[in-house]
Amino acid sequence: MSQHDDQLYIEDMKSFTSEAIDLTKGISLDECNKNRVLQLALVKLLENIGEASIKVSNYYKENYRNIPWEELRGMRNRLVHGYNKINLEIVYHTCRTDLPFLLNELQKIENL
């Protein structure tokens, strides 16, 4: 894997993360539960974040340990393989609580 590939995957992660954060700004859990399109968008964005994280090289995973690489992969796997058992409260809280931290950590990756 090239450094260029890593840059693309990390930029994708930033983009998907920002989008999920933006989609949930000012939205309550109750509103999210009533909006099927929003639910599907958030699930897809979380899947994409996880998928991109899987493809990032071990170099970045070892040098940016504050990023929860394994948890991102685990979330992706749960959403993809357990599609019929998705807990929307967890999806919502992940977007509202965990993704701002993730975005902050991703923005620390420089000189790719």
CA dist 51 → 32, 38, 79 (Å) = 23, 20, 11
The answer to the question of residue 112 being in a domain is no
pLDDT in tens, 43-70: 999 999 999 999 999 999 999 999 999 9
pLDDT at 75: 97
Residue 20 included in any domain: yes
Tell me the per-residue pLDDT of 13-47, one tens digit each, with 9 for 90 and over. 999 999 999 999 999 999 999 999 999 999 999 99
DSSP state of 21: H
How many domains, the chain? 1
Q: Locate tokens 């809280």: which residue?
A: 93
Query: Are 98 and 66 spatial neighbours (Cβ–Cβ below 8 Å)?
Result: no
**Residue 1 clears pLDDT 80, i.e. is over it:** no
pLDDT digits (tens, 9 = 90+) for 68-111: 999 999 999 999 999 999 999 999 999 999 999 999 999 999 75
The number of C-alpha atoms within 13 Å of 47 and in the hemisphere containing its C-beta is: 14
Cβ burial, residue 24 (10 Å; 0-12/13-18/19+): buried
Q: Which domain holds residue 89?
A: 3-107
Q: Is residue 103 part of a domain?
A: yes
pLDDT value of residue 92: 98
Specify the pLDDT at position 110: 72
Is 90 a member of any domain? yes
pLDDT tier for residue 10 given thresholds of 50, 70 and 90: very high
